[in-house]
Each structure stands twice: as structure tokens, then as C-alpha cells.
Amino acid sequence: GIQVEQSPPDLILQEGANSTLRCNFSDSVNNLQWFHQNPWGQLINLFYIPSGTKQNGRLSATTVATERYSLLYISSSQTTDSGVYFCAVEAGGTSYGKLTFGQGTILTVHP
């Protein structure tokens, strides 16, 4: 099946710093999503971005499908950005609707 790798696994920032999270995937995808998992375990949808670039406030994401990677940018980080960031992809063929998750990036933002 498709492989999803995220980097870095851990990231520690001071409040106000910028960061880039990366997601590499091993095959073509029909769907790619970025999630933030808060301390209570809930998954918050950040971006649905199978290709192209999107921005939402301090967050933006870019997916280059032909090169099989996606980037999540966090600018002017805040302590509330802390948590785990997951990239998840939906491969083609018989994988319709099935998301494969990366291992996540644990982000800690210190005040």
C-alpha cells in the first residue's frame, strides 16, 4: 500500500517563530488532508489539498502531486498551535475513501 512519511517527527518552537512540516507519499493520490490533533484527541481539519496551494490565516499548505509531497507552513506560531499534525492521503484504485496517515509531527510551542 501507499507509504506516508512526515518530517520532522518532533519540533520545538518559541512563540512567534515560523515552521514548515513536510509530508512525502509514495504513490499518486486523489486526496490529501492535513489535520491538527488537539490534546483532547480531536482531529481538526486544516486543509483538503490534493494539489495546489491554500491559505487560512497563519497557516498555508502546498501540495506538489507530481513530486509526491506536501508542505504545511505555520507562521507566527502560538502556544495554541501545539499538538500533533497529521498528513493523510487517499490513494487511487480500490482505496476509495480510505485514508492512510503519516506518523505525525509533534509540535510544541513555548511562550
Partner 1 sequence: SAVISQKPSRDICQRGTSLTIQCQVDSQVTMMFWYRQQPGQSLTLIATANQGSEATYESGFVIDKFPISRPNLTFSTLTVSNMSPEDSSIYLCSVEGEAGAYNEQFFGPGTRLTVL
Torsion angle of C-alpha atoms 76, 88, 93, 29, degrees rounded to 10: 20
3-state secondary structure of 105: strand
Give the number of residues in contact with partner 1, rule: CB under 8 A. Answer: 23
Q: Where are the beta strands (DSSP E) in the chain?
A: 4-7, 10-14, 19-25, 29-37, 43-48, 52-56, 59-64, 69-74, 83-91, 100-101, 105-110
Mark the segment that binds partner 1 (CB under 8 A) among 13-21, 59-67, 72-80, 94-102.
Answer: 94-102
Annotate each residue in 72-91 with x if it binds partner 1 (CB under 8 A) or - if it does not, as one string: --------------x-x-x-
Mark the segment that binds partner 1 (CB under 8 A) among 13-21, 26-34, 52-60, 61-69.
Answer: 26-34
The C-alpha R_g of the chain, in whole angstroms, comes to 14
* Residue whose CB is less far from partner 1, 71 or 104: 104
Interface ranges with partner 1 (CB under 8 A): 30-31, 33, 35, 40-43, 45, 48, 50, 86, 88, 90, 96-104
